Structure 1
């Protein structure tokens, strides 16, 4: 495989929007952002994976071929895992690739599974809820240890409930709210440097809107190390002035 194809395949396998079966809706914007491949390079890499039979596509769905077959932690020999796989397929759009996937692994149709409590089975959801006429056979709730001690002390002192021997501790103070990352790394900059930081951040966001979430995450982590402001401003200016095809990778290099 070509380098872009390997990177794209790795990203698809570890995509948070995917699932254990390896067949899921393809959110192209998210994949491009995570892989750092966009535009024509993304489509070329995807076609390369299709032509070499690593993946298959239909409509909004993508299937990583044989991911389920080679996954050592998810085998289709267990009845519960088979049910889970069928229910995942049930939530996907009705395309031919889903039916082909089901036949490829020999999975049953979703309507052949027994109903679960959440799917309309009767009688399960009402058991154990304590409803119905009382029969006098239940066990009364036990007192807490502190209530038992106080009751014994009261009986020993003639019925009066003694006051606790120690005052109750004061309530714990409210946890202090940790300032946001932005307030954290701006606290050590002077006013002019904060203004310049705001201008440079806006410029980066305007130039790379599609990559801004990932760039913002990188910048927050970097600024928490408190780099000298001349070094930080120079790196951000390079990012604004440089026309990077992969701004995330370029930002990692210069930061």
Structure 2
């Protein structure tokens, strides 16, 4: 069940039988840790997009990247997970999810909507075939976009369907387009029970739903149907013409993730490891990336500046930063200052008054010398030839 205004993310259940299962007990310690992490963060459906899978799991679990890769291969080999085209699927996650029912039409609509937000890939088709009973199939009735355990009863009755659908679809579409480089994996053997955890999109849907249900209380006034919001697909990488490499793009999940990783590394340097590190899919992280994209900040510059600030700059309250927007002004101001310095270095210095006077005297001397040479003065002709001055053509 969801709770209003939760501050610690979604609560996810795990059956005790998992830990006693033979297939689970034979896994290596690293594989067990990755399995629980993936299960905890792939949502109740057990399938999600993971950008930069290996670095992210390394950061979340504390394992070296060299240990993460073989553990993922072990999980995939033993059919606990599948991963393909930036998508990770905990294979039997939905099967052992107590909060989702194949007979609940709202649950089916929620799953259908989130699957539409995933990239088109064979792994999604396999998920659909395995869990066909959780989908509408050929049902002609238009499904509701209300996710289970996320939108409250009051919200479903206080909002017109068109507004609820538009908000849900917009949020899902925005989140589905955020990653652009990821590695992924697969899940359980036949008799192994599974866990479940709502992924980031589910948590954001919760916050949107609770905010709306709290504020939209008057159901007597008709609400106009809004035009559905659409978001463009992520743009191709943009390169800084100044030679600083790729510019920050808010739609790029890998950009946001690399910035968050550098921030968490800097915070750990100054304050030690944090129980609740900054998240790459948080709303404040999107706002931070939007500001950097608008300012045209190169990704490499932003990463270095974020780390420098996080590792050395003491916040006014003496506590670690809680959101990526803490770094916005520092990064944007530093980039603007860097651009000014580059323009200064690229601009030739202005001549001093003494230098200008010297040049004027030299020009006057040259003109007089050419005049004497043109009049046939032997010394002037010799000097013009020594200096390479052309005087005959000017005669």
Larger gyration radius, structure 1 or structure 2? 2
TM-score range, shorter chain: 0.3 to 0.5
More helix by share: 2
> TM-score of the superposition, structure 2-length normalised?
0.31
Give the number of the structure with larger relative contact order, counting CA–CA contacts within 8 Å between residues 6 or more apart. Answer: 2
